[in-house]
A and B are shown apart, each in its own frame.
Chain A
Amino acid sequence: MQKIYLKLLTALLLLNLTGCGYNHFQSLDEEAKASWSEVLNQYQRRADLVPNLVNVVKGYAAHEKEVLTQVAEARSKVGSMQVTAEVLNDPEAFAKFQAAQGQLSGALSRLMAISENYPNLKADQGFRDLQAQLEGTENRITVARNRYIGTIKDYNVAVRSFPENLTAMMFGYKTKPSFAVENEKAISVAPTVDFADKK
């Protein structure tokens, strides 16, 4: 009798462990994918704004070739990356994606900075509209990223906690990457303000 009870107990325990853990991972995995899709959506939305922005700025500041080229290059780099949910399982690809988006962010902020020197450009309604859209999109990207980070945190905690990490190992669920602060070194250095006249 005891042997049967022991077998029954073991079976029950095993069922319990895998039952609970496995389903939990399914829902967490799907949530992670969904929030990642949202992040991709918003990045795409930003990339779509860039060509119009570049055209408007060219109309007033065509000789600012360096910045305009940088923006165009960054935009095409981002556009050429095939990013899906699979990128979450590949930390290298994720880092590459983050780097490319960071490059576009930098180029865009430089573009908006030089537009300060062109009052006609600043007054252009088309430019102001694009500026509003860009701000809105940047905000959406921030919100989407924050939500992604929250979802990934739950997922990673589940993957790492005992006993669910056993289920995770069994079915191949690894921790997914989260957004790191890009280029921490650059941020820790305070920006220098240069009032020297450019001639």
Chain B
Amino acid sequence: MKFKLKTSLATFCTMLIFASFNVYAELVAVPALTKHVTDLTQTLSAEQQSQLEAKLAAFEQQKGSQIALLIVPTTQPEDIAQFGIRVVDAWKLGRAKQDDGILIIVAKNDHKMRIEVGYGLEGAIPDLTAKRIISEIMAPSFKRGDFYGGINNAIDKLIALAAGEQLPEPDHTTSNGQNFNNMLPLLLFGGLLMGGILRAVFGRFFGGTLTGGAIGLLAWVLGGGILAAVFFAVIAFFITLLGISGMSQMGGGVFGGGSAGGHDTFSGGGGGFGGGGASGDW
């Protein structure tokens, strides 16, 4: 009896393993988004990539809208439009409220390209314009084998069109946010010092209130947001109330750990896409 069980179990397991093999063709995975320019085919040289990267990053800095380039070998078994919408749904280029993202995809082996335009830029770059950029700027260059030239000129044209669009100014409070993170230890130390002085002058409770108010105001002005300001105000109040010695170590530990987080890598801003844009081939 034991023998039969073992063999049948083994057979069953083997069958399961075979069943789990994907019978369907694998869809091309959406690459990770780390920079404006993602070239998975080594078509562009490192220098060309960094030139385009600089141009696109500068445009984002200036205008806020995110334009990205993706070069893949193929999008099969999907159509380039199907692949494109999957990528932009994952990457979410463009700012969340403005939806001002653009993605240029080149499927090198398929000889196909697509410009995917976010909701917010469909006025500046309607489908027709995207099609013209593809057929008049990109396709002729690609046919000659000049990929960098075609892409560079297309990007220039897209930047010119998007720049003409009335979009809200880019939000520079993210840099304020970083300032705030850096200022945290300073804020704490300042709070302790101020608390000590005010406590000596005004007494525990009143000194605490004054310190809390001052620290809260400072936190808010530095771009911490209302909630953070209230939080720090309360903390400062209690620190002053209870005296420096007890709370300083704990406070230091809490705030020291919290100020990490750089905003250096490129990531999507939460923008939406509706399938606008155009495809073409060469």
> At the interface, yes or no: B131 with Cβ under 8 Å from chain A?
yes
Interface residues of B in 237-282 (CB under 8 A from A): 273-279
Residues of A within 8 A of B130 (CB): 136
Q: How far is the CB of A44 from chain B (nearest CB, A)?
A: 14
Are B279 and A135 touching (Cβ within 8 A)? yes
Q: Would you call B128 an interface residue if the criterion is a C-beta within 8 Å of the partner chain's C-beta atoms?
A: yes
- A144 at the binding interface (Cβ < 8 Å): yes
Across-interface contacts of A143 in B (CB, < 8 A): 85, 273-275
Contact check, B128 vs A132: say whether CB atoms are below 8 A apart: yes
- B127 an interface residue at 8 Å Cβ cutoff? yes
Closest Cβ–Cβ distance, residue B277 to chain A (whole Å): 7
Cα distance, A106 to B278, chains bound together (Å): 22
A144-B278 in contact given A132-B127, A133-B127, A133-B128 (Cβ < 8 Å) = no
- Give bound CA distance, A135 to B135, whole Å: 14
Q: Number of contacting residues on A, CB 8 A?
A: 13
Does B37 interact with chain A (Cβ within 8 Å)?
no
Highest count of chain B CB atoms <10 Å: which of A133, A137, A139, A143: A139
A132/B131 in contact, CB under 8 A:
yes
A160 within 8 A of B: no
Interface residues of B in 153-208 (CB under 8 A from A): none
Asked if B93 lies at the interface with its beta carbon under 8 angstroms from chain A, I say no
Are the CB atoms of B275 and A139 closer together than 8 Å?
yes
> Which residue of the partner chain, among B127, B275, B277, contacts A142 with CB atoms under 8 Å?
B275
**Other-chain contact of B128, A38, A129, A139, A141 (Cβ < 8 Å):** A129
Given known A129-B128, A135-B127, contact A140–B275 (CB-CB < 8 A) = yes
Contact A140 B279 (CB under 8 A): no
Cα distance A141–B274 in the bound complex, in angstroms:
9
Give Cα distance in the complex from A59 to B128, angstroms.
Answer: 21
**Interface of chain A residues 100 through 157 with chain B (CB within 8 A):** 129, 132-133, 135-137, 139-144
Inter-chain pairs besides A129-B128, A133-B128, A139-B275, 8 sampled, C-beta below 8 Å: A133-B127, A135-B131, A135-B278, A135-B279, A140-B276, A142-B275, A143-B85, A143-B273
Could you show 17 A-B contacts with beta carbons less than 8 Å apart? A38-B274, A129-B128, A132-B127, A132-B278, A133-B127, A135-B127, A136-B126, A136-B128, A136-B276, A136-B277, A139-B81, A140-B275, A141-B275, A143-B85, A143-B273, A143-B275, A144-B275
Closest 5 CB pairs of A and B: A136-B127, A143-B275, A132-B131, A140-B275, A139-B275
